[in-house]
Structure 1
Amino acid sequence: MAASDSADSNYAIFRECVSSIIVARSNQHKPNRAPKRRPFKLKSAKRKDNAKSPDPSEEVSPEELAEFIDFIATEIFTTLPNALQTLSYSALQHSPALATTYALPLTLSHLESLSNPLPTTITDTLATYSLSLEAPDLLNRALTEYIPAATCPPPVWATTRKSACEICGRDWIPLSYHHLIPRSVHDKVLKKGWHDEWMLNSVAWICGACHRFVHRMASNEELAREWFTVERILEREDVKEWARWVGRVRWKTR
């Protein structure tokens, strides 16, 4: 996975961590008196009488709260070191030093170094919602949830059964699992360093017709080297055409 893809995926994880903290700590989602400096402009503060602060009794909509959470998460996430933004199970396997650096709980000195780049406007914005949270405190709580979520090991692949074929989408026919990295080339994969050992048993749940198509479209070595995820397979034009065609094949009821 490219670093940019990993960062995008991890941002979604981080935003969810921030969201759970803010929603749990919010005071019925009602804004407090506006601070002197307001980096995030609340929609509810746009009043016809041009009042400078929102009405404390006016509830904030879920949509506005979601916008607020996204703003806070983005402001914090973009200040994190690249290694933390792209943290993953694979990254920890390749770097014991990285695993030590981000072992929980984070040390006070490490937390301070991560908190220093945070813009002061984050705390001002948090005060708008009466969350009683300082930016470093929010960062610590978010990272405590984010790091385990971003670095969790892959599931036991054979237990990830789907209800529909991952290629054609048909959900009324039997499925079997396809080894995305064919077992016959596992030794070569490890020798060449194409993938980590923990990836060898990754599977896709597909129907018999799609299973045969996949093995016709490429050799086992090509599958292991180039087409080792469902997402990569589905990028091929021949696969897209096949999926559209076979997805219309239905058996007649007796």
Structure 2
Amino acid sequence: MLSDDEKPNYETFRDCLEGLVIQKLAIRPAKTRRRRPAKGSKNAIKPVEVSKEAEEEPTGNDAAELGEFVDVQLRRKHSESEANVNADSLTTKYLATEIFTSLAPELRTLSYAAVQNDAALRAKYEEPLPTSTLESILSPLPISVVDSLSSYGLLPATADLSRFLGPVLSDYVTSTTTALQEYAPQTRRASACEICDRDWIPLTYHHLIPRAVHAKVLKRGWHEEWELNKVAWLCRACHSMVHGIASNEELAKEWFSVERLREREDVQKWAGWAGRVRWKTR
């Protein structure tokens, strides 16, 4: 049973595993080779000459039969494709659950915040992951995982498990320990205001922990130093509203995330009103 802290990481791990599973289970249509009759053979099938008019104007019955045949084939192909996708999804879910629940607790709850607060943890899962670390991570996996990978045709008998799952684990570690967008404003720009959701007006970024109180925040231990650059992209109206509902100290201590801000009743009412306003800046 996954805890609430583990569920987001499980979904991330499953996404990382899914790409590999789908790639390995991809069905490639077999190439068919036409048999050519031997040159000069008496049994060779001679081509039938068809008039140009017959090629351009098929009979009504032929056209109808061809259309029905194509429709049936398309439906069959769609059904087979859908079945393959469902099978791949079930395979991925089963394997992801088996593997993820066998990982160490620190790996199941790995996050950007966790590695920032624990230097040893950060060093342990620093990319690229060495072979010794991969083997240590995978050693607790039950034998059923290897059997399942083999039965699904994902893991050849001669393949090394750490080499096979290494890219998946590396993608997972990178995804969970990379700085969130709110910590790296220079790397992205939101497409809409994170309070009122309007996407047609200019945005500014709001320091969720106001810069004016950074020294006090660190002195009193409200947040870690690496958290000071957290930002939210807001329109000018919402930016002003946020600074109007609380002091810098209150914002830093209580309202230091978009999620917390949006939980406030006054912010929800403002967002509902502002979202309906269609003004534009000059």
Query: The TM-score by the shorter chain falls in which range?
Result: 0.7 to 0.9
CA pair 69-168 structure 1, distance change in 2 beyond 3 A? same
How do 1:80-95 residues align onto structure 2 when only pairs under 5 Å count? Answer: 80-95=103-118
In the aligned structure 2, how far is the partner of 1:153 from the partner of 1:205? 16
Distance in 2, Cα, partners of 1:194 & 1:11: 29
Largest Rg, 1 or 2: 2
1:1-254 to 2 correspondences below 5 Å: 6-28=5-27, 60-103=83-126, 104-108=128-132, 110-132=133-155, 136-137=161-162, 138-155=164-181, 156-251=184-279
Letter in 2 for 1:106: P
SS state at 1:166 partner? coil
Per mean C-alpha deviation after superposition, the further-off stretch among 21-30 and 228-237 is: 21-30
Does the Cα contact within 8 Å between 1:180 and 1:202 map onto a contact in 2? yes
Distance 2:154 2:226 in 1: 42
> 2: CA distance between counterparts of 1:158 and 1:71?
38
Which structure is higher in helix share?
A: 2
1:183 and 1:68 map into 2 onto residues whose CA distance is: 49
Deviation string 1:4-47 (CA, Å, 9 cap, x unpaired) is 555322222211111122122225289xxxxxxxxxxxxxxxxx
Query: How many angstroms apart in 2 are the aligned matches of 1:132 and 1:152?
Result: 29
Gaps of 5+ in 2: 30-79
| Residue of structure 2 equivalent to 1:43 | none
CA contact under 8 A between 1:27 and 1:130: conserved in structure 2?
no
Structure 1 length normalisation: TM-score?
0.76
Q: CA deviation at 1:220?
A: 1.0
Q: Kindly indicate whether the alpha-carbon contact (under 8 Å) linking 1:118 and 1:135 is maintained by their aligned counterparts in 2.
A: no
User: Number of aligned pairs?
Assistant: 222
Q: Secondary structure at the match of 1:61?
A: helix
Quote the sequence identity (%): 50
Q: Deviations over 1:116-163 (max 9, x none)?
A: 432322233223431125794444332122212221234531442222
What value does the CA root-mean-square deviation take over the aligned residues?
Answer: 2.7
In 2, distance between residues paired with 1:90 and 1:170? 30
Please report how far the alpha carbon of residue 77 of structure 1 lies from its aligned counterpart in structure 2 after TM superposition.
0.9
